[in-house]
Amino acid sequence: MALSSYNFALFLIVSLLSISSTLISVRADLVDSVCSKTQKTTICLSALRADTRSKGANLETLATISIDISLKNAESARDLVSTLLKQATDPKLKTRYDSCLENYNDAVDDLRGLPDFLKSKDYAGLNIHASAVSDDPSTCDDNFSEPPVEEPQLKAASDKLQGLVSIILVISNLLKG
C-alpha cells in the first residue's frame, strides 16, 4: 500500500511538471508566433522577452507590453529630435527637425491613447491608431530624402519604433480575429 501511494504521488508530480512545462512553452510559442508576423522579428523578440510581464501573457497583455515599450521609445526618439533641433545650425535641418518633433509628438499622443482602445476591446480602433503611429517616424524619415542626411541615431530610433509598433499591429489583427 505504501508503495502504491508513493507511485501515485510520483505520478502526480510528474504530471503537474509536464502540464506546467507545456503551458510555459505554449506562451513562448505565442511570443514566437506574434513576432514571426512582424516587420522586424528580432526587435519584437528582444522587446517582448526582455519584459517579465510577457511570461505567461495572453495577446492583450502582450499588446499592453508592446504599447508601453513603444511609448518609451517614442518619447526617447522625441527627446533625441528635440536635442538635434537645439543643436542644428543649418536652417534646412532646423525645419526638418521641427517637422520631426511634430511627428514624434503625434506618435506619443497616439500611443498614450491606445490603452483605451485595448481596454474597450476596440481592436479595429487599436489597429487604425497604431497604424497612424507607425506613419509618424516614417514621415520624419521622408524629410531627409535630400541632403543634409538624417542623423544615424534618429534613423535607428525611427526603425526601432516602427518595428515595435508593428507588434501592436500584428496583435490587434489577431485580436480582431
Three cell numbers written together for 90: 543649418
Contact 95, 146 (CB under 8 A): no
First CA to last CA across the chain, in angstroms?
53
Distance (Å, whole) CA 52 – CA 54: 5
Kind and range of the H or E run holding 51: none
Confidence of residue 9 (pLDDT cuts 50, 70, 90): very low
Closest CA to 81 of 50, 59, 103: 103
Choose between 20 and 151: higher pLDDT: 151
Q: Record the pTM.
A: 0.83
Confidence of residue 15 (pLDDT cuts 50, 70, 90): very low
Kindly report, residue by residue over 99-111, the tens digit of the pLDDT: 999 999 999 999 9
Confidence of residue 125 (pLDDT cuts 50, 70, 90): very high
Kindly report, residue by residue over 38-79, the tens digit of the pLDDT: 989 999 999 999 999 999 999 999 999 999 999 999 999 999
- Bond from prior residue into 115 cis (ω within 30 degrees of 0): no
